[in-house]
Amino acid sequence: MQRLHVSDPGFERSFTRIVADRRESDSKIAREVADILAQVKTQGDTAVAEYTARFDKYRLGGEESWLISPAACRQAFENLDDELRAALELAATRIRAYHGAQLPEDRDETDDAGIRLGAKWRAVDAAGLYVPGGRATYPSSLLMNAIPAKVAGVERLAVTTPTPRGETNPLVLAAAHLAGVDEVWRIGGAQAIAALAYGTETIAPVDVVTGPGNAWVAEGKRQLYGLVGIDMVAGPSEILVIADGDNDPDWIAADLLSQAEHDPAAQSILITDDAAFASLVEDCIDLQLAALDTGKTAKDSWREHGVIIVVDDLEQSLRLANRLAAEHVELAIAEPEQFLDGLRHAGSVFLGRHAPEAIGDYVAGPNHVLPTGRRARFASGLSVLDFMKRTSFIGLDEAGLAKIGPAAATLAHAEGLPAHARSVEMRLK
C-alpha cells in the first residue's frame, strides 16, 4: 500500500505512475485469446467442448448438456428463501425502472427548407450476456445486463456462464428466470465470447456481447469488437473514496475493502485532508482483513494496489479524481453536491456518508457495469443504448431538393466524385 502526501517532493511522479497503471491483460493473454477465437471460429462446437473440458472439467455432449433449461431456472427461483427472493425482486424492480427512463425517443420533423429528417431507435435482434462463474458468481451482474436488454426490446437473450465440474449456481439461475433470459449455456471464458460472436452448430450468433469477466473474457471482447458490439473492455474493479475526517473510519475501511475483495488486481484509493483519519482507516483495514472471508484476495489487492493520499485541502482532490477517472467515486463529505459538478470523469458517483458503493452494486437502480482503467474519460456505464441502434432517415420532394441539391453537387465536384454530383444534378434538371 502506498501512502502519499500531496506536498511530498516526489508526489507528482508517484501519482502519475498510479494513473498510468493499467493492471490489465498482457500480450501473452492476447495471443492465447486470439488462438482460442480462431479455434472456435473454425471448429465450432468441437473447440468449445474441448476448452470446456480443459478449463471447467465439464464434458459437453448433446444439447441438453450444453443448455440449462428454463424449468431449472424457474425451479431455482422458486426454491429461494423468502428474504433472498424479495431482495432479488427489489433489485430487478429498481433496475428496470431506472433503465426504462433511459429509452430514447424517435425523431420525425420537417425543417425550414421543407426537408424531412428523423431517426428511429430499434433494439438489436439478439444479445449475449456473460456471467462469471470462476472466482465468484454474480446474480446481480446478470440482472444488470439482462434487464436493460429486455427493456430495450431485445428478442433473444443468451447467457453463457461456466459451470465448473457441472455445478450450477442457483442464484444465477434464479436471476435468469427473473430477468426473462431465453437461453443459459454452460460455457465460459474466451471460448464463450467466441461462440456468441461467431455462432457454432449449437449456439446461434448474437449482435451484442456484454458482461464482466476475467482478463481472457475482456480480451476476447476487445478482439471481437466490430464483428459484434460490446459494452466495454473492462479491467479490474476500482474505487476512489474522497472523505473528510468526520467519517467513521470503519465505514470507509469497509468501502475500500468492498472493491479489494473482488480481485487481487482491484484498486482502492482514499483521498482525505486529515492525516490522523487516514491512519485510523489504515488500522481499521488491517483489523477487518483479519475477519474477512475474502481476506486473502482483499489483502493482496490492498497491499499491491491500495493508495492513501493526504491533501492539504479537499478541493485538491477534484483535480486528482479527474485524472484517475475511477470506476466508482464516493464523496463521503458533508456537502457532496459542491464536488459533484467539478467531478468530470467517473463511472458512478455516490453522494454522502450513507451512500456506500455496494448499494450501487445491487439495489440502487443505475447499472454497475462501469468503465474502468480511466475509460470514464470517454465512456459511460451500461445502458439500454448498448442494446439499441439508431437509423436516421431523410425525405425530400422536388422543392426541397431544389433548395439544398446544388450545394451537394458543388461539394461532390470539389471532392472529385462526379457520380455523386450527377445523381443530384440529373434530378435538378
> Considering the domain boundaries, does residue 295 fall inside one?
yes
429 Cα distance to chain centroid: 53
| Residue 88 · residue 82 · CB < 8 Å | no
Handedness of CA 51, 56, 62, 63 (dihedral sign): negative
Write out pLDDT tens, residues 340-349.
999 999 999 9
Query: Which residues are marked as active site?
Result: 327-328
Whether residues 139 and 31 share a domain: the answer is yes
> Considering the domain boundaries, does residue 79 fall inside one?
yes
Last residue of a domain, one of 202, 230, 258: 230
Whether residues 219 and 259 share a domain: the answer is no
The number of folded domains in the chain is: 3
Start-to-end CA span in the chain (Å): 75
| Residue 199 · residue 342 · CB < 8 Å | no
Whether residues 182 and 88 share a domain: the answer is yes
Whether residues 340 and 199 share a domain: the answer is no
Q: Give pLDDT, residue 134.
A: 53
CA distance 70 to 65: 14
| Residue 268 · residue 248 · CB < 8 Å | no
DSSP state letter for 105: P
Whether residues 203 and 270 share a domain: the answer is no
Q: Give pLDDT, residue 26.
A: 78
> Considering the domain boundaries, does residue 4 fall inside one?
no
Tell me the one-letter amino acid at 286: D
The pTM (predicted TM-score) of the whole model is 0.93
CA distance 86 to 403: 61
> Considering the domain boundaries, does residue 6 fall inside one?
no
Residues in the chain with pLDDT < 70?
Answer: 25, 134-136
The pairing of strands 307-310 and 267-272 is parallel
Whether residues 251 and 222 share a domain: the answer is no
Whether residues 239 and 224 share a domain: the answer is no
CA distance 141 to 217: 15
Q: Give residue 421's domain range.
A: 396-428
Contacts 24+ apart (CB under 8 A), 220-228: 220/33, 220/36, 220/37, 220/189, 220/190, 220/193, 220/194, 221/193, 223/30, 223/33, 223/34, 223/37, 224/37, 224/193, 224/194, 224/197, 227/197, 227/198, 228/128, 228/196, 228/197
Q: Give pLDDT, residue 22.
A: 77
> Considering the domain boundaries, does residue 117 fall inside one?
no
- Specify burial of residue 300 (Cβ count, 10 A radius: 0-12, 13-18, 19+): middle
> Considering the domain boundaries, does residue 17 fall inside one?
no
Q: Give pLDDT, residue 62.
A: 82
Quickly tell me which residue has 457495469 as its cell: 369
> Considering the domain boundaries, does residue 155 fall inside one?
yes
> Considering the domain boundaries, does residue 319 fall inside one?
yes
Last residue of a domain, one of 215, 230, 245: 230
We report the CATH number of the domain holding residue 65 as 3.40.50.1980
Whether residues 170 and 78 share a domain: the answer is yes
Whether residues 195 and 89 share a domain: the answer is yes
Whether residues 71 and 166 share a domain: the answer is yes
Whether residues 276 and 188 share a domain: the answer is no
Last residue of a domain, one of 230, 265, 290: 230
CA angle 379, 385, 386 (to 5 degrees): 65
Whether residues 195 and 180 share a domain: the answer is yes
**Which grid coordinates belong to 8?**
511530498
